[in-house]
Amino acid sequence: MKNPFDKMMEIIAFLEENHVYYRISKVSDANNSIMIDLAIPGERWEIDIQDNGQVSIDKFIYDMNYYDETALEELVEKNENRTGQNVEESSL
């Protein structure tokens, strides 16, 4: 298995050769992974490269629905449930 840096550079080269915009960030979790975040029309992908060189890809596919601003409250509620933290109520 390739080392994580070589694997990351290989993926980045592939994305650049194919003109795919991406962002890189460090994920502080048990695996100390690097995440390459990219978007194409209708999809967002997260490519995680773990410190052992393993690659995993999450795809988030657009559901073809449009929402009004009340969806933001759902977003806050889901985040509150995920983090276990209460978020101060605010209105838009």
pLDDT tens-place string over residues 34-82: 999 999 989 999 999 988 889 999 999 998 888 899 989 988 988 887 7
Fold (CATH) for 4-63: Nuclear Transport Factor 2; Chain: A, (3.10.450)
Q: Name beta bridge partners: 22.
A: 38
Q: What average pLDDT score do residues 9-26 get?
A: 94
The burial of 46, by beta-carbon neighbours within 10 Å (0-12 exposed, 13-18 middle, 19 or more buried), is given as middle
Predicted pLDDT of residue 1? 67
pTM of structure: 0.71
Residue ranges of the domains in the chain?
4-63
For residue 86, what pLDDT band results from cuts at 50, 70 and 90?
Answer: low
Instruction: State the Cα–Cα distance between residues 16 and 75, nearest whole angstrom.
Output: 32
Predicted pLDDT of residue 83? 64
